[in-house]
């Protein structure tokens, strides 16, 4: 089936550092989504991208929809301890199904 490759698998960074993670796919998606899952909770949508080349920000988060429509990037600037969690990329199919990446576990050292 379709798969998304998300990297890195985990990151352990110092507070204040910038973070980058990305997702690649062998298939084209028309919508890319980025979710964050905090410990003990379900994933919550951070950013949705609808057009190839689109760059969207949400506070300290910036995500881009790749030109080829087969990849997406998420950047977090000036990380803080509450950024801790698992970040998932997801590609939306026309059926409404989401294909998820494996997740990037982020830990921030104060």
Using CB under 8 A, list all residues that contact other proteins.
1, 4, 6, 9, 31, 33, 35, 40-45, 48, 88, 92, 96-98, 100-103
Beta carbon of residue 67, minimum distance to other proteins (angstroms, whole number): 21
Distance CA 2, CA 11 (A): 25
Q: What is the dihedral of CA 110, 75, 30, 99, to 10 degrees?
A: -30
Q: How many CB atoms lie within 10 A of CB 67?
A: 10
Q: Which is nearer to other proteins, 30 or 77 (CB)?
A: 30
Beta carbon of residue 1, minimum distance to other proteins (angstroms, whole number): 5
């Amino acid at each position: 089936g379709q798969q998304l490759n998300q990297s890195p698998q985990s990151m352990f960074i110092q507070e204040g550092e910038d973070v980058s993670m990305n997702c690649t796919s062998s298939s084209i998606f028309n919508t890319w989504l980025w979710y964050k899952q905090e410990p003990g909770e379900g994933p919550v949508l951070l950013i949705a991208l609808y057009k190839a080349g689109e760059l969207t920000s949400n506070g300290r988060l910036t995500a881009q929809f790749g030109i080829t429509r087969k990849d997406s990037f998420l950047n977090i600037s000036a990380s803080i301890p509450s950024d801790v969690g698992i970040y998932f990329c997801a590609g939306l199919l026309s059926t409404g199904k989401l294909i998820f990446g494996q997740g990037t576990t982020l830990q921030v050292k104060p």
